[in-house]
Structure 1
Amino acid sequence: MNGALVVAAILAIVCVVLVALPFLREPEPASDELDELTPERRARLALAEERDRALAALKELEADHRAGRVNDDDYRASIGPLRREAAEALRALDS
């Protein structure tokens, strides 16, 4: 009876170790693309970030104008350059 319990305990420990082993290993990355960016990909990433900043600024300006924090004159003065900046970034990304 005691021998069966010892064997069962050892078997349980072995099973737990075998199941947990993949989770305990440090995974090796297949590739670290951030270090491998080509100049073209870096330029494309910069354009995408510029586009995102311009679109976020447009969204914030629209929200501020609707909430009354930006008056109509300031809104009209700011919306054009922001739209041009976003459009230029979008055109550059398309080409």
Structure 2
Amino acid sequence: MNDVIVTKRRRSWEWRVQDQNGRVIMSGRERTRPAARYQGYRSLFMLLSVGQRPGAQQALRLGQNRESAIGGVRSDRNVRAAPAGRTLDGFTPD
């Protein structure tokens, strides 16, 4: 099950979409909490609507083209996808 986590970071709000193991799949920052919540759930919906194709996870781990691996979906410019097996900004989930 994927989760959306919203946390306060200084003057902005950070959102993360995590898988069931706590690995960050996507993350971003917004100025307001409602905007961060909206973008987090929007990203979760996009991930769920694309679905997971066989071999897509292996292609991401090998560093192949992410767009072709996840069906050509492009993310917004303030959204980053975490490399497979790593977290963003040194954040280690509990």
TM-score (norm 2): 0.24
Larger Rg: 1
TM-score (norm 1): 0.24
Higher relative contact order (CA closer than 8 Å, sequence separation 6+): 1
